[in-house]
């Protein structure tokens, strides 16, 4: 059996609104947490309490992700607006 190797180049990554994507995912995690919260007793009785805490942790990590991508976007915008010579001097 031969190893599979691609015969074409990989496509360029898509650039989209990353902040909105991460924010949307974070909101979904928190909504899932809040939707499951009234059923805390049922989850506890059936050994599925980790579902609830997974949603909460997903929302918390999403907040870190929102902070990170906002800082990243700001750094990219600063680098694009900086004069060409300043970017080369920083290296």
Dihedral, 68, 72, 78, 81 alpha carbons, nearest 10: -150
Nearest in space to 54 (alpha carbons), one of 77, 71, 32: 32
pLDDT at res. 10:
80
| Percentage of the chain lying above the pLDDT 90 cut | 67
Res 35 pLDDT > 70: yes
Res 36 pLDDT > 80: yes
pLDDT at res. 89:
59
Query: pTM of whole model > 0.85?
Result: no
Res 59 pLDDT > 70: yes
CA distance linking residue 74 with residue 41, whole number of Å? 44
């Amino acid at each position: 059996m031969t190893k599979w190797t691609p015969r074409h180049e990989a496509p360029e990554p898509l650039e989209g609104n990353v902040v909105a994507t991460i924010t949307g995912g974070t909101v979904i995690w928190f909504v899932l947490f809040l939707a499951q919260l009234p059923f805390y007793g049922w989850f506890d009785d059936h050994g599925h309490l980790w579902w609830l805490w997974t949603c909460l942790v997903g929302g918390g990590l999403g907040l870190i992700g929102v902070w990170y991508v906002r800082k990243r976007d700001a750094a990219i915008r600063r680098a694009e607006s900086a004069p060409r010579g300043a970017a080369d001097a920083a290296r």
